[in-house]
Structure 1
Amino acid sequence: MAQNFDTLKSACLDQWQAYIQHPFVAGISEATLPVEAFSYYLKQDYLFLIHFARAWGLAVYKSRDMTELRHSLDNLKTIVDTEMGLHVDYCRAWGIDQEQLQNLPEAQETLAYTRFVLDCGHRGELLDLHVALAPCLIGYAEIADWIGARPQTVTIDNPYQAWIDMYRDEDYQEAARRERRWLDERLAEVSPGRFAQLITTFRDATRLETAFWQMGLNVAS
Structure 2
Amino acid sequence: MTSYGAAFQAWRDAAPDWRAYTDHAFVQGLQEGTLPEAAFLHYLRQDYVFLMHFSRAWGLAIAKSDTLAEMQAAAATVHTLLHHEMALHVELCAAAGIDKSLLEATQERAENMAYTRFVLEAGYSGDLLDLLAALAPCVLGYGEIGAGLAARDHAPTYADWIATYGGPEYQQVCQETGALIDAALTHRLGDGFAKLPRFGQLSQTFSKATTLEVGFWDMGLAP
TM-score (norm 2): 0.90
Q: CA deviation at 1:39?
A: 0.8
> In structure 1, which of residues 128, 131, 148 is the aligned counterpart of residue 130 of structure 2?
128
Paired position in structure 2 for 1:159? 157
Q: Which amino acid aligns with 1:154?
A: H
- In structure 1, distance between residues paired with 2:80 and 2:51: 11
How far, CA to CA, are the matches of 1:199 and 1:166 in structure 2? Answer: 28
Match of 2:111 among 109, 114, 120: 109
Q: Deviations over 1:52-86 (max 9, x none)?
A: 11001111111112111111111112222333233
- Find the aligned partners of 1:126 and 1:167 in 2 and give their Cα distance: 25
Q: How does 1:15-34 map to 2 (within 5 A)?
A: 15-34=17-36
Q: Which residue of 2 aligns with 1:218?
A: 222
Q: How does 1:112-191 map to 2 (within 5 A)?
A: 112-150=114-152, 153-155=153-155, 158-187=156-185, 189=190, 190=193
**Structure 1 residue 94: deviation in Å?**
2.2
Worse-superposed segment, 189-198 or 25-34: 189-198
Aligned-residue offset at 1:43: 0.5
Residue 209 of structure 2 corresponds to which residue in structure 1? 205
- Among candidates 61, 66, 70, match of residue 68 of structure 2: 66
Give the counterpart letter for 1:132 in structure 2.
A
1:35 to 17, 23, 37: 37
Partner Cα separation in structure 1 for residue 30 and residue 83 of structure 2: 27
Amino acid at match of 1:178: E
Quote how far apart the aligned CAs of 1:215 are: 0.4
Aligned pair in 2 of structure 1 residues 103, 9: CA closer, same or farther (>3 Å)? same
Equivalent pair of 1:3/1:187 in contact (CA under 8 Å)? no
Preserved contact between residue 147 and residue 167 of structure 2 (Cα < 8 Å):
no
CA distance in 2, matches of 1:23, 1:211: 12
The one-letter code matched in structure 2 to 1:218 is A
When residues 148 and 83 of structure 1 are mapped into structure 2, their CA distance, relative to the original with a 3 A threshold, is closer
Amino acid aligned to 2:179: R
Deviates more, 1:80-89 or 1:170-179: 80-89
SS of the equivalent of 1:218 reads coil
Give the conservation status (yes or no) of the 8 Å contact 1:40–1:216. yes
| Off by >4 Å, runs of 4+ in structure 1 | none
Unpaired runs of at least 5, structure 1: none
Listed one character per residue, the Cα deviations across residues 20-49 of structure 1 (whole Å, up to 9, x for unaligned) are 000000000011111111110000011011
> Residue in 1 aligned with 2:14?
11
Q: Deviations over 1:145-170 (max 9, x none)?
A: 222344xx434xx2111110111110
Tell me which amino acid in the other structure corresponds to 2:166. Answer: R
CA distance in 2, matches of 1:27, 1:146: 14
Instruction: Note the residue ranges of structure 2 that are not aligned, 5 or more in a row.
Output: none
Cα distance in 1 between the residues matched to 2:37 and 2:6: 41
The residue correspondences of 1:61-100 to structure 2 (distance < 5 A) are 61-100=63-102
Q: Which amino acid aligns with 2:110?
A: Q
